């Protein structure tokens, strides 16, 4: 009996510490599922446990351990209130930023959102250049409400005298078909890789036209597809729950990847939707899931140029595609620093060596490989490296933290004005800003 009681007390202490940790970190992207009703449930549960401890055991025995346990279980709601207060203060500070600075930096951000009201202030006041829509924006509803929502945001944008929003999504086909349903669920482009060349080209272009036509009908003008990573040879990492390159990559043959992707992009662009090739420098050799873990690419540059990077160079030279840079460090160029904010990779390799002067966008900055480190440094280094668009997709509320990082850097002279001017030129040339 005593052993069981001791175990129960230990479990109460552990659970209380977990609840406090959740309360302190309630705004963390990993705890997005707890927001709203989840936070309310956590607070109610904490108060209920504290009440029971006071009434039945801990307080009446007047032991210091008992009283500390009561205090512990009283802390989670207070921690949540404090975390929410910090978020609201930061949000207020961002929304009060100088309008000129706001619009200057805002042209570099694409933000995901969960509700219309959440994103309206950012749209109307030029804090962002675009929005990202995904399965949460269509969950449980038809295509028409999303179409109307995008149209309403564009109308507000127009009324504010701002350029139209970029409206982006991930509609690759296969397992990454975030808007299917309600849109058509097409197979992965990998299903076309072994067809005869003429049939392969025709089918890939048809897939692009279908995606382009359906996305354009909703008001979406930017697709984060196709994937140009080479299919990995090794077995899948069991801790990879998100990247899943072996299911998303077209082929392990660079020539086939180039052919299928190029035809797909042609079809997509024919409907007025821009493509974004990803995830440079390539995830085919990377086993770590950058949604959660750091990753390094240790392969020599010469070998990468002949294999993994060949599809990127082929497709970028023959299309108007954007380039998404992932959170993988290229050891031979900039060890330890993810390519998404590496000047050696973006400005050195992509801009100068390859002479690619199109639009470069980061992978989601809310991913663990970036967010769990110094995300402020990543934001500033990305802008200074010549990245044009910063993506905040999974948890759009993190925008306020990331934008504050950018404004703080600008105010202390930490942003490279020459790089920002070059980026502005590229954005204007791509007709993304006036």
- Residues labelled catalytic: 291, 363
Token digits of residue 134: 């995904």
Distance of alpha carbon 140 from alpha carbon 138, whole angstroms:
6
Measured in degrees and rounded to the nearest 5, phi and psi for residue 296 equal -125, 145
Distance of alpha carbon 243 from alpha carbon 47, whole angstroms:
39
Say if residue 182 is preceded by a cis peptide, omega within 30 of 0. yes
Distance of alpha carbon 269 from alpha carbon 246, whole angstroms:
26
Distance of alpha carbon 105 from alpha carbon 176, whole angstroms:
30
Token digits of residue 15: 């659970």
Distance of alpha carbon 392 from alpha carbon 425, whole angstroms:
22
Structural contact between residues 367 and 327, judged by C-beta atoms closer than 8 angstroms: yes
Task: Find all residues with CB under 8 Å of 256, minimum gap 6, and list them.
Answer: 193, 200, 250
Written in H, E and C, the secondary structure of 108-161 is CEEEECCCHHHHHHHHHCCCCCEEECCHHHHCCCCHHHHHHHHHHHHHHHHHCC
Please count the CA atoms within 13 angstroms of the CA of 386 that sit on its side-chain side: 21
Task: Find all residues with CB under 8 Å of 380, minimum gap 6, and list them.
Answer: 405, 406, 409, 414, 415
Crossing angle between the packed helical segments 37-56 and 2-24, to the nearest 10 degrees: 140
Task: Find all residues with CB under 8 Å of 251, minimum gap 6, and list them.
Answer: 190, 193, 230, 231, 257, 260
Cα-only R_g, the chain: 24
Parallel, antiparallel, or unpaired: how do β-strands 296-297 and 222-223 relate?
Answer: unpaired
Structural contact between residues 314 and 269, judged by C-beta atoms closer than 8 angstroms: no
Measured in degrees and rounded to the nearest 5, phi and psi for residue 184 equal -70, 130
């Amino acid at each position: 009996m005593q052993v069981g009681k001791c175990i129960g007390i230990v479990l109460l202490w552990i659970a209380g510490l977990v609840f406090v940790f959740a309360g302190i970190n309630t705004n963390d992207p990993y705890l997005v599922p707890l927001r709203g009703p989840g936070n309310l449930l956590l607070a109610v549960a904490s108060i209920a446990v504290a009440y029971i401890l006071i009434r039945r055991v801990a307080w009446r025995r007047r032991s210091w351990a008992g009283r500390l346990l009561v205090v512990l279980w009283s802390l989670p709601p207070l921690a949540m209130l404090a975390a929410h207060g910090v978020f609201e203060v930061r949000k207020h500070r961002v929304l009060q930023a100088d309008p000129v600075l706001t619009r200057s930096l805002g042209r570099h951000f694409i933000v995901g959102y969960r509700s219309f009201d959440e994103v309206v202030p950012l749209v109307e006041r030029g804090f962002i250049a675009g929005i990202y829509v995904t399965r949460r924006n269509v969950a449980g509803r038809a295509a028409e409400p999303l179409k109307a929502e995008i149209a309403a945001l564009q109308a507000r944008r127009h009324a504010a005298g701002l350029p139209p929003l970029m409206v982006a999504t991930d509609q690759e086909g296969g397992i990454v078909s975030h808007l299917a349903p309600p849109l058509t669920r097409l197979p992965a482009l990998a299903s076309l890789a072994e067809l005869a060349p003429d049939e392969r080209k025709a089918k890939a272009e048809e897939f692009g036209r279908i995606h382009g036509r359906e996305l354009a009908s909703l008001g979406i003008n930017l697709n984060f597809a196709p994937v140009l990573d080479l299919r990995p040879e090794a077995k899948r990492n069991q801790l990879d729950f998100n990247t899943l390159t072996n299911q998303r990559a077209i082929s392990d043959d660079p020539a086939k990847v180039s052919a299928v992707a190029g035809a797909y992009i042609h079809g997509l662009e024919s409907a007025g939707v821009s493509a974004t090739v990803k995830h440079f420098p390539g995830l085919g050799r990377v086993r770590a899931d950058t949604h959660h873990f750091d990753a390094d690419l240790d392969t020599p540059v010469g070998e990468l140029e002949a294999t993994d990077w060949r599809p990127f160079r082929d497709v970028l030279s023959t299309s108007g595609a954007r380039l998404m840079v992932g959170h993988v460090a290229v050891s031979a160029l900039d060890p330890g620093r993810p390519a998404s904010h590496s000047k050696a990779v973006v400005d050195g390799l992509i801009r100068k060596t390859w002479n690619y002067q199109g639009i470069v966008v980061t992978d989601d900055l809310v991913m663990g490989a970036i967010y769990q480190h110094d995300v402020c440094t990543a934001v500033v280094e990305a802008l200074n490296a010549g990245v044009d668009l910063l993506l905040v997709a999974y948890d759009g509320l993190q925008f306020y933290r990331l934008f504050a990082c950018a404004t703080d850097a600008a105010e202390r002279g930490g942003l490279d004005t020459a790089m920002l001017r070059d980026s502005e030129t590229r954005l204007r040339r791509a007709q993304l800003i006036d």
